[in-house]
Copies of this chain bind each other. A is one copy, B any other.
Amino acid sequence: MAKKKRDIRREGIMEEAAKLFKQKGFGGTSMRDLAEQVGMDAATMYHYIKSKDEILKTICFDIAHTYVTQLAEMEASPFSYTQKLKALVRLHIHLMTSKGAEVSVANNDWKFLSEEALQEFKGLRNQYERSLASIIEQGIKAGELKDVHPSVALFTLLSAVRWVELWWKPDRGVTTQELEDSILAILFSGLENTKP
């Protein structure tokens, strides 16, 4: 029970930290800023977290593990290559609308990770991109996907959703469902209307 309360506090600190890092950058955020933001004195806050480095590492790897876990699930699934790819692109969009600050930190501030964590993070990212590229290659071979250069397809898909993190807010007049459906429709069926 005590453990659970501690975890909730810790998660709250992580959330506020992600917002501050997104807004002011990792380098521009001090532990004093963070303590102020969460309304604790620094000594109390250090009861829950060790350092700014630990916070950054936790945020980056939480996001990375979400991607890697979903990828593994898809790889083990009986779905078509297209369905696997669609589910993963949908996850990217979903994470940006549900955990926008954390995704921003994992996309932009990962370079401030300590050396060991940095190597591990880059390794995970490269492995993830290679696995996605492999799904694309197999989808092309199977005739499910158009015969384009796999890297071009991979980076077009990943890049095409990046703006969501900067743009999306609940008051944009687009639900998260519409947002995901529209982007998926453009990327997989094309913006051009083929219906008569």
Contacts and interface: CB of A to CB of B under 8 A. Distances in A.
Contact of A152 (B148, B149, B159, B182): B182
A156 to B, nearest CB: 5
A146 interface: yes
A71 to B, nearest CB: 18
A36 interface: no
Q: Is the interface of A mostly helix, strand, loop or mixed?
A: helix
A192 interface: yes
Interface in A161-196: 161-164, 167, 172-174, 178-179, 182-183, 185-194
A173 B151 CA distance: 10
Interface residues of A, number: 40
Contact of A192 (B144, B163, B172): B144
Total identical chains: 2
A188 to B, nearest CB: 4
B153 A163 contact: no
A162 to B, nearest CB: 5
Interface of A: 82, 85, 143-149, 151-153, 155-164, 167, 172-174, 178-179, 182-183, 185-194
Given A146-B189, A146-B192, A189-B194, 14 more contacts: A85-B191, A145-B191, A145-B192, A146-B191, A149-B173, A151-B174, A153-B191, A155-B163, A157-B191, A160-B160, A160-B187, A162-B162, A187-B187, A188-B192
